[in-house]
Amino acid sequence: MNSIPDRKGGGRGFGFRPGYPLTCVTAVMLCALVALGTWQVERLHWKEDLIARAEEGIEGQPVPLPALADEDPNWRDLDFRRVSVSGRFIVGNAFGFQVSTRGELVGGDLVVPMLLDDGRVILVDLGWLAETDLPPASIVPFVPAGQVALDGVARFVGDIRPGYLTPSPDLIKRRWFDWHIPAMSDVTGLSLLPVIVDVDQRSALAVDGKPMGIANRPQPRSLSIDYPNNHLGYALTWYGLAVGLVVIYTMMGFKRGAS
């Protein structure tokens, strides 16, 4: 008569036994990864709303530049808002900004300080000119004299500081390669506001109450929203790591259960 083998204590078991320490560590890491992913989703919604409001601001009607103190944090809210200003250009403090090309021509933007009617000074980016027309060459043909009223898109640049790879300004050629309001104020001797006005293709410009045509004017830029929005990729990365962590935890649990 054949006997039935006693399997008690024999062979290898099969089950899920990850252990208490591994479970605790995995739970903490999983909560952290899910929280980071959820935070990036929230940031995604915030950035999408910010971009939508910026697009509306560019297309909206101009509003007068508010009378805010230089250090007022509300300047940030004007970023990508269409504003109107009135005053006189300070031609002697104009400078070229960055280096770019139009077709085969090399040039940059012409930036001119404007003394506003209330005594404040703001930088106005009038648009692109060929290198030979930028300061230190005479810009008189390109900058209207008299009382100027214009609208453009405000950009908050008060917190920009040039990076290590940004070239230093060439003060002899009067060329700057990034915004740096404190340094620009020191060089020009003007107390500059922390926002600039970009004259774009929709901007209107009048001199002494008369509309000015586009002849002899710098080429206006076509503005685009430059807010970085990588939050979806970051969220997927964190959630993907969370899924990977669960897979590894499950495999290790079954491996230990089979040992």
Q: What is the pLDDT at residue 117? A: 95
Q: How far is CA 124 from the centre of its chain?
A: 19
* 146 and 201 assigned to the same domain: yes
1 domain residue, yes or no: no
CATH code (residue 199): 2.40.50
Residue 24 lies in a domain: yes
Q: Are residues 49 and 119 in the same domain?
A: no
Please give the tally of structural domains in the chain.
2
Clarify whether residues 136 and 204 are in a common domain. yes
**Are 135 and 53 part of one and the same domain?**
no
Residue 73 lies in a domain: no
Beta strands in the chain (DSSP E): 63-64, 81-89, 95-102, 105-116, 121-130, 148-156, 175-176, 192-198, 205-207, 210-211
pLDDT-flagged residues of the chain (< 70): 1-14, 214-216, 259
Q: List the domain range (segments joined by +) for residue 41.
A: 13-61+226-259
How confident is the model at residue 133, as a pLDDT?
Answer: 93
pLDDT of 12 reads 56
Q: Which parts of the chain fold into alpha helices (H)?
A: 20-59, 181-188, 231-258
**Tens digits of per-residue pLDDT, 67-116?**
888 888 899 999 999 999 999 999 999 999 999 998 889 999 999 999 99
Q: Are residues 130 and 174 in the same domain?
A: yes
Q: How far apart are CA 143 and CA 197, in angstroms?
A: 15
pTM check: above 0.85: no
Q: Is residue 76 part of a domain?
A: no
Is residue 75 one of the residues assigned to a domain? no
Domain for residue 43, yes or no?
Answer: yes
Question: CA 161, CA 180: separation in Å to the nearest integer?
Answer: 6
> What confidence score (pLDDT) does residue 69 get?
84
For the segment 228-239, what is each residue's pLDDT rounded down to a tens digit? 889 999 999 999
Per-residue burial over 27-52, b if 16 or more Cβ lie within 10 Å, else e, is eeebeebeebbeebbebbeebeeeee
